[in-house]
A and B are shown apart, each in its own frame.
Chain A
Amino acid sequence: MAEETAEKTPIEIVTESEHNKNFHGPELTGEIDTPAVEDGLIIKGVTDDVKPYPASESMQAELGFPETLVDNWEDVAVQRLGELLERYKSLQVYLDICVRCGTCTDKCQFYLGSNDPNNMPVARAELLRQVYKRYFTTEGKVFGKLAGARKLDLKLLGDWYAYFHQCSQCRRCSVFCPYGIDTAEISMAAREIMDSIGLGQKYVNSILGKLHEVGNNLGMNPKALKATLESTEEDLEEETGQKIRLPLDVEGAEVLLVTPSADFFAEPHVESLLGYAKVFHQAGISWTLSSTASEAGNFGMFIGSYTQMQKAASRIRRAIEELKPRRLIVGECGHAWRIAYSFWNTLIGPFDMLDPQYPAPQHICEYTLDLVGRGAIKLDKSANDEFTVTFHDSCNVARGAAMGDEPGGQFEIPRALIRASCNKYVEMDKDTIKEKTFCCGGGGGLLTDEIMQIRVQGAMPRMQALHTVMEEDGVNFMALICAICKAQFTKILPKYDVPMSVAGGVHQLVGRAIELGAKA
């Protein structure tokens, strides 16, 4: 090399990356093509330098992880993998049984968008499976490379750091796999191993630190939160002429609402918050937010850490004990709803202190639709006549959680609510919705600007499907029920030359359509 290069530390080698924050999406055609070798499109390692920033030493320390890559990282990583194998049936079984049939290979949005074969779910999983084989299986010890066993070296660790941060843990691959192999489980394990050797990801770990310390991902202290809510109340009163409250820390309220903190001020998230407030107001139900639990999101899942996830969730338990609500409702957020629905009862349950008449927790869409069904609130569809609406199923809701009592309620309930709030509703291509939905490209801890390239590329399939309904049906509003989806799309739509205003919340529509004052 021409210029003088100081010797790089191992962690610098592993996290060395190319940041292209201005990455622009390809032109939209409506077609989701599978990259193929014949087209010269599969290029090995094409995104292997798209990596997030590593966590700083203080962020790592705050979570109890080693501050920087430990000297004996290979030993620690292997040992950690061994422990995880004993703790997670999913990991043990999935590392064993994949037959590399190839069915999942064209199912991941990051492969379709980036053309990098290591983003094929099975290839991603192989990065960890190779290490499993080499250190833990007879097959790998006997056959070595022939069985795909591989030593964990700096090059491989670098690939882990890249490709396990190009997986949004959306579980799309698991839908089509003959054994239901969930690559999300594998990338969670890989991230947990990386954290335990001191190789954390900045975006997720810094946010987790804020959540533990302050109570929400934005690091908004109770005072600032109160001020924000008060000024939003004023805006609401100006807009509607009614005293619609956004109560905080009210003891003994009927409902405790736990919602992603982005709802408090980010656009378009806040529109949904207004929607919830109007629903509660109109239904005449006392409710409250909590400053202890001012965050529904829980990035502990993204790094696969049970401990971190439980610690973060315990704030919600504390809030319930402090405020003694009768019902627990969760706002629009994808991964948060998965954790709430599938994990809370295990992590911080049982919820004996809540009213057993109602499911705990309950999704805001379940709650609102029930009110609509009972006539407790009235929606005027024509208020949304300027919109032709479509719905993006958030993958964590679609494939990791549910709503209502019937399987598939997570698809029907938000749709029913949207249909009740607007006159024009259009469905996107059937291979891109419900349990086959594509991720927005920003989930699983990928919502950070330095890896913009992979976010744009991962959004490609969804953008193509959206493009089709925009062209053919005049869709101009894509309803979302996930804070990360909302944040991702407001950033990504312009990269595909689609106006930002197309992305909005389901309760944004509800909030516009609700008839205030007209008591049934």
Chain B
Amino acid sequence: MDGLTFVYSLLFYIVINIFFIGLLLKFWKYVSTPAPLKIPQTPAPKTATGVGVRMFQEVVFFKSLFRGNRLIWLGGYIMHLGLLFVFMKHLRFFFPGTPAFVDTLVDIDLYTGFIFLSALIFLFILRLAIDRTFYVSVFNDYLLLGLLIAIATTGLLARFWDYSGTRAMIPDIKAFVGGLFTFNPGPVPSNKPFMVHFILVMMLLAYFPFSKLVHSIGIFFSPTRNQIDNTRKKRWGPWTVKNPRRSKPKEPVAVQPSFAVKEEPSDS
């Protein structure tokens, strides 16, 4: 294994651990934090199935966003669709054989990468152009969009510039990336845009669990959207904290008693 491959591989294993462990910890935090009161944003579904439908509409169509702002919806929706397609196309690098549907996808689709990139640029411009969004944006919002733009650009360059749009790179990349998953990576492909692309993706994955990108799991835990509106029929709580993550008071400071933690089974 040459030095570069070693460095790239090491980076990959570190980052992939940060990514998964970080996300798992977030996930666990969201699962274990109680929601002591029912706060669905009404009108809300009265059944679990209804909540499923509501959540589906939010995740698959960004329904509320659509009602709130069409421009942001357009940019955001296309960007995420693009992301989804691009991600699926990447599957061919991860596995030894390529799943048939991915092949078909790659065949019928040449442009999702460009659409993804355009949508990102559109979102970047919106952030600057809508005065209110500009007011609330912080540097990291631009940083993240910039990072994604850079990832998309280098990815497209790797594919269409260096390899002239052919599929010549696939075996090289498969040997390296696919190899990473079987702990037997081939040499890092000498394609310059790819080398940058890879590093940028590692940066994204390492930042992911600590950034606002956790909206991808958080959306499922939003109490205003995932709760059933049935308080008169079924008692909610009294809440039992099963996994209290207690932080020790640093100073002997006087604080108010918080809500009573009763060790009773929830939902009588």
Query: Which A residues lie at the B interface, using CB under 8 A?
Result: 34, 36-38, 42, 64-66, 70, 72, 75-76, 79-80, 82-90, 92-94, 96-107, 117, 120, 122-123, 126, 137-139, 142-143, 145-148, 171, 174-182, 185, 192, 195-196, 305-307, 310, 341-343, 345-346, 349-350, 359-361, 398-402, 405-408, 410-411, 435
Contacts and interface: CB of A to CB of B under 8 A. Distances in A.
Given A100-B138, A341-B231, 13 more contacts: A70-B254, A86-B33, A98-B215, A99-B212, A102-B132, A103-B72, A138-B210, A142-B210, A177-B65, A178-B64, A306-B36, A361-B232, A398-B42
B255 A90 contact: no
B143 interface: yes
A102 B134 CA distance: 9
B68 interface: yes
Contacts of B235: 345-346, 349-350
A98 B238 CA distance: 29
B3 interface: no
A388 to B, nearest CB: 27
A97 B43 contact: no
Contacts of B186: none
Contacts of A97: 212, 214-215, 218-219, 222
B37 to A, nearest CB: 5
B29 to A, nearest CB: 7
Contacts, number: 261
B224 A359 contact: no
Given A66-B254, A346-B236, A179 B225 contact: yes
Interface string B86-126: 00000000000000000000000000000000000000001
A106 B132 contact: yes
Given A99-B212, A343-B38, A346-B36, A359 B64 contact: no
16 contacts: A34-B132, A83-B255, A88-B34, A90-B35, A99-B141, A100-B137, A142-B210, A146-B139, A175-B67, A179-B218, A196-B255, A196-B256, A306-B37, A342-B37, A398-B42, A410-B43
A146 B212 contact: no
B33 A342 contact: no
A171 B41 contact: yes
B166 interface: no
- The range of chain B's interface size is 35 or more
A117 B133 CA distance: 10
Top 3 A-B pairs, shortest CB-CB distance: A176-B68, A102-B133, A306-B259
B30 to A, nearest CB: 6
A306 B214 CA distance: 28
A298 B156 CA distance: 59
A171 B44 CA distance: 14
B179 interface: no
B238 A307 contact: no
B95 to A, nearest CB: 31
A175 B132 contact: no
Contacts of B36: 87-88, 306, 346
Given A42-B131, A82-B247, A346 B231 contact: yes
B58 A105 contact: no
Interface in B41-97: 41-46, 50, 58, 62, 64-65, 67-69, 72, 76
Contacts of A176: 64-65, 67-69
Interface in B167-219: 207, 210-212, 214-215, 218-219
